[in-house]
Each structure stands twice: as structure tokens, then as C-alpha cells.
Amino acid sequence: MPYAQYFNGQIFPNDADLLKTNDLGLLRGYGMFDYFRTYNGVPFRWDDYWTRFANSARSLHMAPPLTQDETADILADLYKRSGEAEVAFRFVLTGGYAADSVTVTQPNFLIRCEPLPKDNPTSLREGIKVLPYDYVRDLPEIKTTNYLHMILQAGEMKAQGAADLLFHKGGEISELTRSNVFLFKGDALITPDRNVLNGITRRAFLELAAPHFDVQVRPVLFDELINADECFTTSTTKWAVPIVQVGEHTIADGHPGKRTVFLRELFLKVVEEWGS
């Protein structure tokens, strides 16, 4: 069965044309999204994702057009239609159609059921390189649809063999374009607390780490990162990918660290049992 999407009360194939050209997401970049996945056919930490989505919508002065329970029913329907064991879900909420190209009347709400990205075992096994980039996202606590800087730098990342950008400003790091950053210094696990999206996978790793490490959520300097013992990034699809190089700086010995691997194994146990 084909993947399907929900749009303003109806179900369509994923390749259907839906939006009109006077949508504020298109005209003004006024839109947000969220993205999560299933494990064992069950959405991972659904309550956390819904809470973040609803709070982000309110921060942008948009009300989610459905309740959490109504949305959960749609997710179950889309999952069943896919015929797949595991899927990803993408929410997109825009300002809707505006006759004057400015005024918000009724938001447009899209829910896409999508195939999961292919795993990248090389990144997990060997780690990735990221490029430092002097930038802090507008409204970093919200997953807005503005990924302009990532797209503009795509060619440079490819040319330098980098997987992503590391945002920093004034000597302080924040996040990658689509994921959170952690570092180890000894048995201290440190992650930035400012200018970051509060990732749900980030939260899961903080919870898993608490019994084993000295967890510190605080401002993190760029110099701390490049002198760390280990570094990794977390997201819905990345889990915990080691960062072994930042620009021209090699992290420690340039190999994934044992503490990072330990946390990833703890997370693997969680998702293997999810929904049971």
C-alpha cells in the first residue's frame, strides 16, 4: 500500500498536490514542523513530541487544529495504510491561506507518513566530520521550516566531506542543523542549554546517562568541544552519531568513544522494547 498523508481533514497519496500558492508558509516562511518515528509500530515518546509540537504552535500564535487524541487516530490510520513495520511521521503546520499575503486566518495542517531514512552504519562505526558555522537559529526552541543556511552550505559540506554544520556564536556552541550536540570530558556528559531545540532524543539520552555520568546542561564553549574526550550528536534518525572532527580539529584520537557507544547501547535496549 502507498504511503499517505493527512491534510485538513482528508487523506491523500503522498504525491498529491495540496497547497495553494498563497499559503503563508510559502510566501513568508511562516511555518513549523516536527518529525518522529515508530519502534515496533508504536510512535516513540508520542506525548513528548505532541507537547513540543503544541507548545511550538502556540509560540507562533497558531493553534493546533486537532487534539492529541484526534491526531493519534490519524497516525494509526496512516501507519496501517503504509503496510510497513516502521515509519516516520512528519507534521507541517503553516499560517494557511492569506488573501493579503499577511493575515493568518486558518492554519494548514499536514501529516505525512514516510519511509525511514536508510541507516548509515559507516557514520556510527567511524564517526562524522562537521563544519563550524557562525550562526544561531531564530527561535531555536521551535522547529521552524527555515533551513536556508543548511541548504546554502550543502555544496561546501560536500566539498569538505562533512556531514553537517555546527552552529556557534561568540565562542559558544549550540547545535547542528538538525540535531543536538553532546561532549564528554572524563565522566562528565555536557550539552548546551542555550539556543538549542530541546530534542526528544536528547532528553532520552540525558535520562539514560543520569545514573552513570555527571550530567551538565549548561553553556558550552567551542574550545571545550574541540578539546573534549568524546563528542556525539543525537536526533530521531541519528540516535548517537560520534563527531570525530570539527573543521580542522580532530576530537581526541579521531575515533568514536567508548562512553558514546555505551549510551547508544542503552538507547538500543529502550527502543527494542518500546511499546511492549
What local confidence, expressed as pLDDT, does residue 2 receive? Answer: 86
End-to-end CA distance of the chain: 26
| Mean pLDDT within 100-124 | 92
Query: Residue 111 — very low, low, confident or very high, per pLDDT cuts 50/70/90?
Result: very high
Q: What is the pLDDT of residues 140-199, one digit of tens each?
A: 999 999 999 999 999 999 999 999 999 999 999 999 999 999 999 999 999 999 999 999
- The sheet carrying 108-114 orders its strands as 10-13, 4-7, 108-114, 88-94, 31-39, 42-43
| Mean pLDDT within 4-25 | 95
Residue with cell 498529491: 16
Query: Which H or E element spans position 33?
Result: strand 31-39
Could you give the angle at the alpha carbon of 46 between the alpha carbons of 110 and 8, nearest 5°? Answer: 20
What average pLDDT does the structure give for the chain?
Answer: 96
Distance CA(2)–CA(4), nearest Å, equals 6
| Mean pLDDT within 35-50 | 98
Q: What is the pLDDT of residues 63-95, one digit of tens each?
A: 889 999 999 999 999 999 999 999 999 999 999
Instruction: Report the percentage of the chain scoring pLDDT > 70.
Output: 100
Is the distance from CB of 15 to CB of 88 less than 8 angstroms? no
| Three-state DSSP class for residue 22 | coil
Q: What is the pLDDT of residues 182-225, one digit of tens each?
A: 999 999 999 999 999 999 999 999 999 999 999 999 999 999 99
Q: What is the pLDDT of residues 260-269, one digit of tens each?
A: 999 999 999 9
Instruction: Report the percentage of the chain scoring pLDDT > 90.
Output: 94
Query: Which H or E element spans position 13?
Result: strand 10-13
Is the distance from CB of 149 to CB of 176 less than 8 angstroms? no
Confidence check: pLDDT of 5 > 90: yes
Contacts of 219 (CB under 8 A, 6+ apart): 172, 192, 193, 194
What local confidence, expressed as pLDDT, does residue 1 receive? Answer: 56
What local confidence, expressed as pLDDT, does residue 49 receive? Answer: 97
Residue of 166, 177, 163 lying closest to 220 (CA atoms) = 166
Pick 175 or 119 by higher pLDDT.
175
Query: Residue 120 — very low, low, confident or very high, per pLDDT cuts 50/70/90?
Result: confident
Distance CA(226)–CA(135), nearest Å, equals 18
- CATH for 4-114 is 3.30.470.10
Residue with cell 550539552: 191
- CATH for 121-272 is 3.20.10.10
Domain coordinates in residue numbering, the chain: 4-114, 121-272
Distance CA(126)–CA(255), nearest Å, equals 6
What local confidence, expressed as pLDDT, does residue 150 receive? Answer: 96
What local confidence, expressed as pLDDT, does residue 119 receive? Answer: 83
Query: Residue 105 — very low, low, confident or very high, per pLDDT cuts 50/70/90?
Result: confident
- Give the Å distances, CA to CA, from 84 to 17, 117, 129, 179: 23, 14, 33, 26
Query: Residue 238 — very low, low, confident or very high, per pLDDT cuts 50/70/90?
Result: confident
At 46, the amino acid letter reads W
The reply to whether 121-272 shares the fold of 4-114 is no
Distance CA(274)–CA(225), nearest Å, equals 32
